[in-house]
Amino acid sequence: MDMKMPVDKGLDNTFNLLTEGYSFIQERSEALQSKVFETRLMGKKMVCMTGKDAVRLFYDTDRFQREGAVPKRIQKTLFGQNGVQTLDGEKHKIRKLMFLSLMTESALNRLTAITTEQWRLKAQQWTGQENVVLFDETEEILCRVACLWAGVPLKEPEVQSRAYDLGAMIDAIGGVGPRYQEGKMARERTESWISTIIEKFRDGAMEAKEDTAIHTIATHRDEAGRQLNTQIAAVELINILRPVVAVARFITFGALALHDYPMYKEKLKEGDAEFSEMFVQEVRRYYPFTPFLGAMVRYDFEWNGFHFKKGTTVLIDLHGVNHNPELWETPYEFRPERFKDRKKDLFDFVPQGGGDPKTGHRCPGEEATVKIMKASLHFLVNELKYDVPSNQDFSVDPIRIPTLPKSKFVIQNVSILE
């Protein structure tokens, strides 16, 4: 039976998206009483979907493709051009394996060790400083971590500007005007820097260990046995550096959670590994980061009575699925305990995408993210003493994509615990 897909009112809802932010799909889905509906965004007819079954559908790589689904403005800022995010089929599989091959147990342990070491080094500068803006400092720390882990040389005087650029590409996601321009220029500068590094490595003018990202990406062979050209290799190496820096957002939210729910700080201090895992997962679920993702219908098909037309862009509501009351009890409460003995499911907990990362586009860096978060929060809780001044704006704007606590979380009177 072919049912008519509910249609969102309005000639074009781009403005509403900009003024509704993270709740755009969820609220409309509730109002239309349908997990699937049609809307118009950026002058194009699009389909929005939410719920677990919709995630499962979205990650069906037979019915959906990514080529042609990533807007140019996202390629010019966040993703870059011709990267893994835009590939399908065999090409995607081979490129994706390159990323997954970097996530070995020993490489991830090295990532944890580097993260702890870099927090310790940076924190020494904070004692005696009046205000420490945790988010900005964390981006810098993670820029150092990303480069050390990936084998990319980074000179001390350039740390601040490289960290800024990697952060600006992420901050541009929902930005129009100056925020978009900043992200675009940040990408141009970063691609030029990383292209030079790739060339140096290939020319033998610098070395890197075999299990580093630069070594793996610069020597990677595609489906035809060819090396990636310099531009694509740079885009893919930035696909490692930038998301490591992005983890600063989850860490800042983690610090906010520790402030808002001090009993969890005590529990984390006890060093219970199971609780640390639960806490980190709840930070990834509860706080807003990735709002939704897009893919394109590959051929006409029917699903749950609805017709999906070839060439239509379909958006999946990741934020809404992480806050869906059918999947999560009291979804707008921060409650790490909900992850105790929770069964792993590829389609209901989707802060970094859904499905199987080997066969689809799900983030290959989830374990890396969790490792960085655990090491960072462990440091904040067990090695640092600080005050959190109340005269700052902790509010998290649900309209701005991506969002953060407005003050970016300021701490004071920092001392290092022996």
Residues that bind ligand HEM (CB under 6 A): 84-85, 96, 99, 239-240, 243-244, 246-247, 249-250, 289-290, 293, 351-353, 361-365, 368-369
Residue nearest to ligand HEM (CB): 365
Q: Which long-range contacts (CB under 8 A, 24 or more apart) does 157-165 make?
A: 162/190, 162/193, 163/139, 163/245, 164/139, 165/189, 165/190
What's the gap between Cα 5 and its chain centre? 31
Q: Provide the pairing of β-strand 132-133 with 384-387.
A: unpaired
As a whole number of angstroms, the distance between CA 124 and CA 368 comes to 25
Closer Cβ to ligand HEM, 89 or 389, answer by number: 89
CB of 339 to ligand HEM, least distance (A): 17
Closer Cβ to ligand HEM, 8 or 290, answer by number: 290
CB of 127 to ligand HEM, least distance (A): 28
DSSP summary character for residue 61: T
CB of 229 to ligand HEM, least distance (A): 18
CB of 44 to ligand HEM, least distance (A): 19
CB of 288 to ligand HEM, least distance (A): 10
Residues 6+ away with beta carbon under 8 Å from 212: 149, 150, 151
Start-to-end Cα distance in the chain: 69
Tokens, residue 188: 């141009």
CB of 129 to ligand HEM, least distance (A): 26
Residues 6+ away with beta carbon under 8 Å from 135: 248, 249, 252, 404, 405, 408, 409
Closer Cβ to ligand HEM, 12 or 345, answer by number: 345
Closer Cβ to ligand HEM, 242 or 338, answer by number: 242
Closer Cβ to ligand HEM, 358 or 385, answer by number: 358
CB of 251 to ligand HEM, least distance (A): 9
Please report, as a single letter, which amino acid is at residue 93: K
Q: Assign 413 to helix, strand or coil.
A: strand
DSSP summary character for residue 4: P
Sign, CA dihedral 341-344-347-353, equals: positive
As a whole number of angstroms, the distance between CA 148 and CA 127 comes to 25
CB of 69 to ligand HEM, least distance (A): 9
Closer Cβ to ligand HEM, 223 or 387, answer by number: 223
Tokens, residue 333: 């409460």
Closer Cβ to ligand HEM, 96 or 338, answer by number: 96
CB 32 within 8 A of CB 301: no
Residues 6+ away with beta carbon under 8 Å from 60: none
Closer Cβ to ligand HEM, 216 or 276, answer by number: 216
